[in-house]
């Protein structure tokens, strides 16, 4: 997809905010704990490489991604810190894991046995770094019993071509007030650790929510994701432990302003009709950019004033009702601060009846990211 450098719509990413959010968490961590910044999905839509560089300045010592290609992107951008791929990678790509010095998640014994077979045919002697995933109640990937984990550890330790670097789990409800299920998962993970004769370099259970609201859990590494971008992992369910600084703003400009008389329709389907003479502004952003149709009725900011989105949002444009005649080229703030007013990613998520994670990841590559 072509990047729209030659139109006024853009995402503005405050890398200082990312650095500050990481540093705020690093200051709270117990001695001997490391922070791995989670930059999967293009840094949750913020841009993986620039986010990673800002995270390093804040004190991050490693990174987590979801897929092999994301890890390779970081390496080819000059990132030398440890990188863990959190999902399953096909064993046929083990040569790339070794080439780029990547750590990979092991979730089944079958995968590991196939990996060992692959490694037997690779001349390079550097061992493959692995993290064993324990499924304590997420129901996604990983081993489900202490005995299964113990068996896999024994297999790894008997194989010179493998290096057991980590063991981890992921909590499903760390961002909720009710802690019963969280405590059930935590206990299951402790039962796994109890059957192991030794532990690897990294034991990690803490995503952003766990780090913020359950800091006393076992582990010596934090996978810091959504909070790094200044967004509360719980949405609005739990208060922030310390002020998080949102890193992303979304801005554009008015490209046309017109006065329409009473009874004129706006947009596809004629879902909005003017009830009096109204000033209407057109903004060059639409659902192809991730500014979705369900945002009809939501408001953006122009000169600090709320302006409602009227009519259906188009693929490339949307229309807003202006309080008065305004000049073409006037700034429009869709997310961020403007003249003392503010639109948050959470507000957008509430309108869409989703979570801010999804909002951030939905913004398409057509919108350029500008870093400050």
The Cα–Cα gap between 185 and 144 comes to 11
Give the closest residue to 76 by CA, choosing from 100, 60, 106.
100
Nearest to 202 by CA among 181, 186, 218: 218
Q: Quick count: other Cβ atoms within 10 Å of Cβ 11?
A: 24
DSSP 180-229: HHHHHHHHHHHHHHHT-SS--SEEE-B-HHHHHH-TTSS-SEEEE-GGGG
Catalytically active residues, by annotation: 40, 268
CA-based torsion, 137, 143, 147, 149: positive or negative? negative
Q: Binding residue per annotation — 28? A: no
* C-alpha span between 106 and 128 (Å, rounded): 11
* Pair 185, 140: CB distance under 8 Å: no
Cβ contact 364:289 at 8 Å: yes
Instruction: Return the residue matching tokens 């444009």.
Output: 317
140 is an annotated ligand-binding site residue:
yes
Specify binding-site residues for substrate: 140, 315
């Amino acid at each position: 997809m072509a990047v729209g450098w030659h139109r006024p719509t853009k995402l503005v990413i405050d890398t200082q905010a990312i650095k500050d959010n990481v540093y705020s968490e690093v200051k709270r961590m117990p001695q001997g704990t490391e922070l791995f910044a989670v930059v999967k999905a293009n840094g949750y839509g913020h841009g993986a490489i620039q986010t990673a560089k800002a995270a390093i300045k804040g004190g991050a010592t490693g990174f987590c991604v979801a897929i092999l290609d994301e890890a390779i992107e970081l390496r080819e951008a000059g990132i030398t810190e440890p990188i863990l791929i959190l999902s399953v990678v096909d064993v046929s790509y083990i040569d790339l894991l070794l080439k780029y010095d990547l750590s990979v998640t092991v979730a089944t014994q079958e995968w590991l046995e196939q990996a060992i077979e692959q490694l037997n045919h690779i001349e390079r002697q550097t061992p493959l770094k692995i993290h064993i995933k324990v499924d304590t109640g997420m129901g996604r990937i990983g081993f489900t019993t202490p005995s299964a984990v113990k068996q896999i550890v024994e297999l790894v330790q008997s194989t010179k071509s493998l290096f057991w670097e980590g063991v981890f789990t992921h909590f499903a409800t760390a961002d909720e007030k009710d802690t019963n299920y969280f405590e059930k998962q935590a206990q299951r993970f402790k039962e796994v650790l109890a059957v192991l004769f030794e532990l690897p370099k990294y034991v990690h259970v803490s995503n952003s929510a766990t780090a913020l609201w359950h800091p006393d859990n076992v582990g010596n590494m934090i996978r810091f994701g959504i909070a790094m971008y200044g967004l509360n992992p719980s949405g609005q369910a739990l208060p922030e432990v310390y002020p998080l600084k949102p890193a992303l703003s979304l801005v554009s400009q008015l490209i046309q302003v017109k006065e329409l008389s009473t009874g004129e329709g706006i947009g596809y389907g004629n879902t909005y009709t003017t009830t009096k003479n109204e000033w209407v502004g057109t903004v060059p952003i639409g659902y192809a950019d991730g500014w979705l149709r369900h945002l009809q009725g939501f408001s953006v900011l122009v000169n600090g004033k709320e302006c409602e989105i009227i009519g259906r949002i188009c693929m490339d444009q949307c229309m807003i009702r202006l309080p008065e005649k305004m000049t073409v080229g006037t700034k429009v703030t869709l997310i961020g601060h403007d003249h003392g007013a503010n639109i948050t990613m959470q507000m957008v998520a509430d309108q869409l009846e989703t979570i801010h994670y999804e909002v951030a990841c939905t913004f398409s590559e057509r919108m350029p990211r500008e870093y400050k």
